[in-house]
Amino acid sequence: MSTTSREIRLASRPVGLPVDENFELVEVSLPDITDGELLVRNTWMSVDPYMRGRMIDRKSYVPPFQIGQPLEGHAVGKVIASNNDKFAEGDLVLSMMGWREAFVSNGEGLQKLETFGLPEQAFLGVAGMPGLTAWGGLLQIGQPKEGETVFVSGAAGAVGSLVCQIAKIKGCKVVGSAGSKEKCDWLKSVGVDEVINYKDHKTQGDLIRALKSAAPEGVDVYFENVGGDHLVAALEAMNVNGRIVVCGLISGYNDTEPTPGPWNLFNVIGKSLRMEGFVVTKFLDQTPQFTKDLGEWFMAGKIQSQETVEEGIENAPSAFLKLFSGGNKGKMLVKL
Amino acid sequence: MSTTSREIRLASRPVGLPVDENFELVEVSLPDITDGELLVRNTWMSVDPYMRGRMIDRKSYVPPFQIGQPLEGHAVGKVIASNNDKFAEGDLVLSMMGWREAFVSNGEGLQKLETFGLPEQAFLGVAGMPGLTAWGGLLQIGQPKEGETVFVSGAAGAVGSLVCQIAKIKGCKVVGSAGSKEKCDWLKSVGVDEVINYKDHKTQGDLIRALKSAAPEGVDVYFENVGGDHLVAALEAMNVNGRIVVCGLISGYNDTEPTPGPWNLFNVIGKSLRMEGFVVTKFLDQTPQFTKDLGEWFMAGKIQSQETVEEGIENAPSAFLKLFSGGNKGKMLVKL
């Protein structure tokens, strides 16, 4: 019995914003499983901004995607058949195989999923890598104290929206920036104190004024997802001993020319700022504490998650591209 | 009996590199001391890069210099007459009154100086504010471990040269960058492992190659005094979990237009870098430990200090300007 799977391959390396031609939808025939192997059919796959970096051929913390090979990323799937005694038919598994409908595995790198009553796709978002990113980045790198002001760019995204809500739980004032009135309204509805629709503030000076007006007391923690003008504005608005958690710089991911960094980096000295980048793997060993915190907050109704869903593997590239045009509210998912 | 003193006043705010016309030499008549007052005649005064920032009218961690008023900074002087029971004639004092030959004080802000056998001007350099800056910035913010590689820009300056030597004491490999062969030779003579004469590497690409060749194993701690191309090169050469201690960004202090920051700031994420600025006052309460460390290192012959001396208050502005043209090796001092 042969199983087919469709997968998205990297056809060519994008220059600037990726286009359809950089991706290729291919149907493959999967081999029958042998001893120790299992067959998984993905139910949900994730597209995330960091994948843009993997499309570039450079040395980084994860190896680049290879041309002609399927793209990879987190996915949730169901075990269809198993000759591996660690997995049984019907098990849910989390994998890093990504952009494909089904795959054969020897079990390596697969994690059996206990959902604890959460929807399975939550493990690609709030209960998964973006959740751990938000939790670890904000709490351990940002170290917000009660009463402090936290500014979050990309606040309506998968990571940003969770950062906002965790900061509220910790007793902070939260200022969030997003790219539409609808997103800003949603942020208000989950408790964000002040919102900035950055598309209403086209110039750098405008954004600086908007942030200073939203946080006249100054910003103590800036959770950076965006870069560019947002970083400049934050550097202007930061308080002494402020912390800048550098999670993402999405505004520059599709740049074809090196884009200049902030002209006002000197604030790092005068204001004694700490600016710290990280990769989510830093917090992997703290997953139990993250899961415990998140579970409690969920049960107490303190966290709301939001999803934007595209259907079908053939729409994975366009789902991915929407990350860069602001087409997602909360976690961007592809339902397979 | 009237005492006269000459002082340097800020005549106008410099735009770009300061020029002679921004400074004014004025002779003043000091009042006789009254009850609780003392008269100090300065013997040495310090010029430091941070003073350029105080010439700009902006909110910062120290208030700006005022036009028509004498400039301020650290100075060492001798008590000539005293009606203050905390100070006696002949005492040495450290003050923050700066660019003047003599002054009357009520004792506030003056520190009686115990030299422990060091030359008195050392308390403007290696045993003073630049020393504490190097010690605290490197050890507490940079946290170098034995066997790591430390890169220091402005390595032949007052702070940089001390950072290099403390890093060697801590068992690190040290790469130093300076602006002349003479400075590089001196750095070699005090134990710096690799030197880069940045004037031999005019392009950004050149400097990146020079740093990668001096530190093929990568840089773990970058002590930043300069900014610009140096920061770009460091971001390229940093190892994962590296630390960038932002002490100064002198290459931009005289810019008249906002200069772009590094185009490769994204390395902060992929390499999980921490970039942290500070002001020396952060370490003031640790002065006893600093003094103890430094004393031991001096006695053991592990630290050599270097001075560049100009004579006479009238030459203080030109001494200050030499900081920006690379005219100093080690601490720049004015002998009064």
pLDDT tens for each residue of A171-193: 999 999 999 999 999 999 999 99
According to the model, what pLDDT value does residue B1 have? Answer: 54
Taking CB atoms and an 8 Å limit, are A61 and B264 in contact across chains?
no
Angle CA B191–B196–B197, to nearest 5: 115
Taking CB atoms and an 8 Å limit, are A268 and B246 in contact across chains?
yes
| N- to C-terminal Cα separation, chain A | 22
Distance (Å, whole) CA A124 – CA B278:
39
Q: Which CATH number is B129-281 given? A: 3.40.50.720
According to the model, what pLDDT value does residue B258 have? Answer: 85
The pLDDT of B28-55, averaged and rounded, is 95
Taking CB atoms and an 8 Å limit, are B269 and A262 in contact across chains?
no
Q: How many CB pairs under 8 A join A and B?
A: 98
Report yes or no: A16 at the B interface, CB cutoff 8 Å.
no
The dihedral formed by the CA atoms of A156, A268, B227 and A201, expressed in degrees to the nearest 10: 40
Report whether pLDDT(A116) > 90. Answer: no
The pLDDT of A209-230, averaged and rounded, is 97
pLDDT tens for each residue of A138-159: 999 999 999 999 999 999 999 9
pLDDT band at residue A228, thresholds of 50, 70 and 90? very high
Report whether pLDDT(B255) > 70. Answer: yes
The pLDDT of A121-150, averaged and rounded, is 96
Enter the ipTM: 0.92
pTM of the model: 0.93
How many alpha carbons fall within 13 Å on the CB side of residue B32?
4
Average pLDDT, chain A: 95
Distance (Å) from the C-alpha of residue A265 to the closest C-alpha of chain B?
Answer: 7
- The beta strand positions in B11-124, using DSSP E, are 23-30, 38-46, 75-82, 92-95, 102-105, 111-112
The pLDDT of A311-327, averaged and rounded, is 95
According to the model, what pLDDT value does residue B202 have? Answer: 87
Q: In chain A, whose CA is at the least distance from the CA of B243?
A: A276
A129 class by beta-carbon count within 10 Å (0-12 exposed, 13-18 middle, 19+ buried)? buried
Q: Find all residues with CB under 8 Å of A1, minimum gap 6, and list them.
A: A32
Report whether pLDDT(A223) > 80. Answer: yes
pLDDT band at residue B45, thresholds of 50, 70 and 90? very high
pLDDT tens for each residue of B126-177: 999 999 999 999 999 999 999 999 999 999 999 999 999 999 999 999 999 9
The pLDDT of B197-203, averaged and rounded, is 93
| N- to C-terminal Cα separation, chain B | 22
pLDDT tens for each residue of B281-323: 999 999 999 999 998 998 899 999 899 999 999 999 999 999 9
Classify domain B3-124+305-335 by CATH architecture. Alpha-Beta Complex (3.90)
The pLDDT of A273-293, averaged and rounded, is 95
pLDDT tens for each residue of B89-116: 999 999 998 899 999 999 999 999 988 8
Range(s) of chain A covered by CATH 3.90.180.10: 3-125+307-335
Distance (Å, whole) CA A179 – CA A159:
15
Helices B129-136, B158-169: crossing angle, 10 deg rounding: 40
The DSSP 8-state label assigned to residue B261 in this structure reads B
Range(s) of chain B covered by CATH 3.90.180.10: 3-124+305-335
Q: Which CATH number is A3-125+307-335 given? A: 3.90.180.10
Distance (Å) from the C-alpha of residue A17 to the closest C-alpha of chain B?
Answer: 17
Name every chain B residue with its beta carbon within 8 A of the beta carbon of A53: 270
Range(s) of chain A covered by CATH 3.40.50.720: 129-281
According to the model, what pLDDT value does residue A1 have? Answer: 54
Report yes or no: B171 at the A interface, CB cutoff 8 Å.
no
Distances A281 to A137, A284, B78, B300 between C-alpha atoms, Å: 11, 5, 59, 44
Name every chain B residue with its beta carbon within 8 A of the beta carbon of A259: 263
**Structure tokens given for B334:** 């004015």
According to the model, what pLDDT value does residue A209 have? Answer: 97
Helices B158-169, B287-299: crossing angle, 10 deg rounding: 70
Q: In chain B, whose CA is at the least distance from the CA of A258?
A: B263
